[in-house]
Amino acid sequence: MSTDVNTCLGFDFGTRRIGVAVGRSLLGTASPLEPLAARDGIPDWAEIERIVSEWKPDGFVVGLPLNMDGTDSEMSRRATKFGKRLQGRFNKPYFMMDERLSSHEAKGYVIERGGDRDFGRNSVDGIAAVLILESWFAQNLNSA
């Protein structure tokens, strides 16, 4: 693996909700946690501190919502700022992972498993964070 990250928290950044997942590089898998409420992209940092204390991650992976043509968007700039704040607050590295279509893929995952098409946002946010983190593991485990 190209980084020394064993346990990682993954985030699907949003302005109202932030999906969260925890994963381990040994298995390359992740599990969803409860999404975080956010106000205009600003989370309850005390809640993130609680999650960091509980899971003791070695680093963070934040989904990077690029435009379909690969260019930056306002949301990608905000997600990067969120990653920088995670690093600054917790003194752990953050990594950005292209997340184009992760929410779309998460919705398909919920439907495929018999979930409601009306989506409780909780399930989609967490699954999107899982997809982001597992994609990052796959990319980094395969490049070692």
Structural domain includes residue 2? no
Structural domain includes residue 99? yes
Q: Which domain holds residue 24?
A: 7-142
DSSP 29: E
pLDDT digits over 10-37, tens only?
999 999 999 999 999 988 999 999 999 9
Handedness of CA 80, 38, 120, 48 (dihedral sign): positive
* Predicted pLDDT at 52: 98
Which CATH number does the domain housing residue 102 bear? 3.30.420.140
d(CA 94, CA 130): 16
Rounded to two decimals, the pTM is 0.83
- For the chain, which residues score pLDDT lower than 70? 1-4, 100-123, 142-144
* Predicted pLDDT at 117: 44
Structural domain includes residue 13? yes
